[in-house]
Structure 1
Amino acid sequence: MMSNISVCCGEIESAVGFVYVILPVILNHTLNEDCEQSWYSEDWRLIADPSTPETLMDPVSSVSSDRLVTSRCVNVLHEILCDASGFRMETLFRVRNETAVTPNSDQLWWLFALFIFIFIIFILICFMLRKKDLWVFSKSRDDHLSA
């Protein structure tokens, strides 16, 4: 079974680093003695094992049974394997760096609508000014002819 958790880097950032927490409902499966946990990088390289916390790989700074702490905000995968029951659970943490803001389609739509609105107002103002100039010119011409 696979679950995906999407988070912003700011949501998991703490004073000690970036903290990835495993939900208690998932951890209940590790109460069996035949279950093992592992943390992997996005390319499936083993980066931490809670049973051997002294063997951490970059960017991991600490690991426990319920969390992983890294020095950088990265995508990670947590895996639980239970030999006797055959249970397997993978939790993929997908992170978004909110400092690299890209406008979503709603923002682009509103910007486009605003641009169109301003353009229409500009055209109306130009039309009204042009009409006023024609009216003034026509009025002065009529005054000149009648004199």
Structure 2
Amino acid sequence: MRALVQRVSEASVEVEGRIVGETGPGLLVLVCAMQDDDATAADKLAARVAKLRIFQDDRGKMNRSLLDVSGGALVVSQFTLAADTRTGNRPGFSAAAAPEDGRRLYETFAASLRGHGVAVETGVFGADMKLRLLNDGPVTIWLDSADRA
């Protein structure tokens, strides 16, 4: 699985003019399930996100995790993180998981993150969503479950 993690002061997601998820200080996590991903990949990625030390400590160093700062997370599915842009001008998305698998793994990821004690809100899988965020830093980190055993 892939995740693009953004440290935010606030973030919200809107579907058809209605806010369906929001968070205050914490993380906006854009998530994409890839072909051959499984629940283990979702759980490992959720643990990495919960423990990723990208919040400042008392000395101004990025040394605290989402758990340490009691921050929330807004988790939004985004299959475009699977984009293959190596050839041509139009990205390909064939590496993304099939929609039914993507939905299951997205939900597994969000549930696993909740299981770590994080307050999680979500977007609507497969919907046309509008995101608003106030990026804090800015701090944006790319994570891929395939990068770590």
For the superposition of Structure 1 and Structure 2, which TM-score range results when normalised by the shorter chain?
under 0.3
Task: Give the TM-score of the pair, scaled to structure 1.
Answer: 0.28
Task: Give the TM-score of the pair, scaled to structure 2.
Answer: 0.27
* Larger Cα-atom Rg: 1
Greater per-residue strand proportion:
2
